[in-house]
């Protein structure tokens, strides 16, 4: 069965190229579409099984990361995206895409009123950082992530500190909606730089209650080949965690 992925881009999206490659290598027939085209014709969502909102600096992140794109999603595409989720399709928000989904109220609870319940605040370091991190999957709620799996890949952001009111955090944890946490090489939660932005409870990625919408700050599409890993000249050829991540999304649809 041919599965199709839609990678949505907007002004300032800049990781669309490698996100398309990731989807294609995982077996999706993939289209890259500008948000203006979807606003013109939101029925286009119907042809796809996976929607990815990729990373970048949509509209410069000028009013806060992902904010302007979030308003576009919320005001112009919100209903279409909710229909997409209800139809059992998958949605991924990566980095800026995660920020936009959260600020559009499409995570963590897209089907519950669309209110923003959490945010991605500026990194504790006060500036953008590029470094590799290790993530532990701490829940199997997301339909394509199995608890206990490890994802090593890059973070590249200035506003990735996941924060929310305590009650909201408790609720997300109780529901298994906290999918990924930042951990140190031993697998334990730790401070900077293992948790690169100061996210509360080391939260790196969350999903919605259906497990079909996942957002995360790190970039799985940055780890598709063994040569992407910063240690590859030391450890040699290994399976690339990011590619496995996309492949399991495809597997979850079949």
Q: Which helix (H) or strand (E) holds 21?
A: helix 16-25
Q: Cβ of residue 144: shortest distance to another protein, in angstroms?
A: 20
Q: Which position among 23, 95, 142, 207 bears the catalytic label? A: 95
221 is annotated as an active-site residue: yes
Binding site for another protein (CB under 8 A): 11-12, 14-15, 17-18, 21, 34, 36-37, 55-57, 59-64, 67-68, 71-72, 75, 103, 116-119, 121-124, 126-132, 154, 156, 158, 161, 163-165, 198, 219, 221-222, 224, 227-228, 230-231, 233-234
219 is annotated as an active-site residue: yes
Across 122-212, the runs of DSSP E, i.e. the strands, are 129-137, 150-157, 161-163, 178-183, 203-207
Which of 224, 253 has the CB closer to another protein? Answer: 224
Q: Cβ of residue 201: shortest distance to another protein, in angstroms?
A: 13
13 φ, ψ (degrees, to nearest 5): -65, 135
Sheet with strand 213-216: strands edge to edge: 28-34, 3-9, 50-53, 90-94, 213-216, 203-207, 178-183, 129-137, 150-157
Q: Which position among 159, 221, 223, 229 bears the catalytic label? A: 221
Which of 39, 252 has the CB closer to another protein? Answer: 39
95 is annotated as an active-site residue: yes
- Residue 102 C-alpha from the chain's centroid: 10
For residue 166, the number of C-alpha atoms closer than 13 Å in the C-beta half-sphere is: 0
Annotated catalytic residues are: 95, 219, 221
């Amino acid at each position: 069965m041919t599965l199709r992925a839609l990678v949505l881009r907007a002004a300032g999206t800049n990781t669309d190229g490698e996100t398309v490659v990731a989807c294609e290598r995982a077996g999706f027939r993939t289209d890259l579409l500008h948000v203006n085209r979807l606003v013109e014709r939101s029925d286009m969502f119907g042809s796809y099984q996976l929607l990815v909102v990729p990373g970048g600096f949509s509209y410069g992140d000028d009013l806060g990361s992902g904010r302007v794109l979030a308003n576009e999603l919320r005001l112009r595409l919100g209903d279409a995206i909710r229909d997409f989720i209800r139809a059992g399709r998958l949605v991924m928000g990566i980095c800026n895409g995660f920020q936009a989904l959260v600020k559009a109220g499409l995570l963590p609870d897209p089907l519950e009123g669309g209110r923003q319940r959490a945010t991605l605040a500026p990194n504790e370091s006060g500036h953008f950082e590029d470094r590799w991190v290790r993530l532990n999957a701490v829940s199997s709620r997301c339909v394509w992530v199995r608890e206990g799996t490890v994802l090593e890949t890059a973070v590249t952001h200035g506003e990735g500190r996941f924060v929310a009111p305590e009650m909201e955090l408790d609720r997300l944890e109780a529901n298994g909606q906290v999918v990924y946490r930042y951990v140190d090489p031993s697998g334990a939660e730790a401070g900077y730089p293992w948790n690169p932005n100061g996210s509360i409870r080391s939260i790196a990625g969350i999903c919605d209650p259906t497990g079909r919408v996942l957002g995360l700050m790190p970039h799985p599409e940055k780890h598709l080949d063994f040569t992407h890993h910063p240690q590859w000249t030391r450890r040699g050829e290994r399976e690339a965690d990011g590619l496995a991540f996309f492949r399991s999304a495809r597997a979850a649809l079949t």
